[in-house]
């Protein structure tokens, strides 16, 4: 067992989940903006961009949901271990925390890239 502050790890989980909620809201708003642009007269290339962006928004919303659920389950497990193991976290749980953080960082970078791609599309579609 690893001696770490479970409340700190749990707090990190809460921060990640809140940030993912914000990304979900942003993607939903972007989807609305995309629909508005799609209602205009567009070139074939722009229509392909609309389809690509729509698909990416959908995929990333699923990724956000799945990661949020994994983080939530992980947080519950750590809180159970806190009670069951006198405040200690299992080594597997600590490794899982690190793994989830890596997944979170990768997803966050993907979402940043998608944000830039969408901003470029909006600029070209004026």
Q: Return d(Cα 14, Cα 19) in angstroms, integer.
A: 9
Q: Return d(Cα 111, Cα 61) in angstroms, integer.
A: 10
Q: pLDDT tens for residues 34-56?
A: 999 999 999 999 999 999 999 99
What global pTM score does this model have?
Answer: 0.91
Which of the four pLDDT bands, split at 50, 70 and 90, describes residue 116?
Answer: very high
Is 1 a member of any domain?
A: no
Q: Which domain holds residue 103?
A: 6-124
Q: Return d(Cα 73, Cα 86) in angstroms, integer.
A: 20
User: At what angle are helices 6-38 and 91-124 packed, to 10 degrees?
Assistant: 20
Is 97 a member of any domain?
A: yes
Report how many domains make up the chain. 1
Tokens of 78: 């750590």
The residue whose two tokens read 């939903």 is 28
Is 42 a member of any domain?
A: yes
Is 84 a member of any domain?
A: yes
């Amino acid at each position: 067992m690893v001696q770490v502050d479970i409340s700190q790890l749990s707090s990190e989980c809460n921060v990640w989940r809140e940030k993912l909620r914000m990304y979900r809201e942003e993607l939903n708003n972007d989807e609305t903006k995309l629909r508005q642009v799609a209602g205009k007269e567009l070139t074939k290339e722009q229509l392909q961009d609309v389809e690509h962006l729509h698909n990416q928004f959908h995929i990333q919303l699923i990724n956000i949901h799945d990661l949020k659920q994994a983080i939530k389950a992980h947080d519950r497990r750590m809180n159970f271990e806190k009670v069951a193991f006198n405040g200690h976290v299992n080594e597997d749980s600590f490794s899982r925390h690190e793994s989830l953080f890596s997944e979170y960082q990768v997803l966050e970078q993907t979402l940043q890239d998608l944000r830039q791609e969408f901003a470029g599309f909006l600029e070209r579609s004026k």
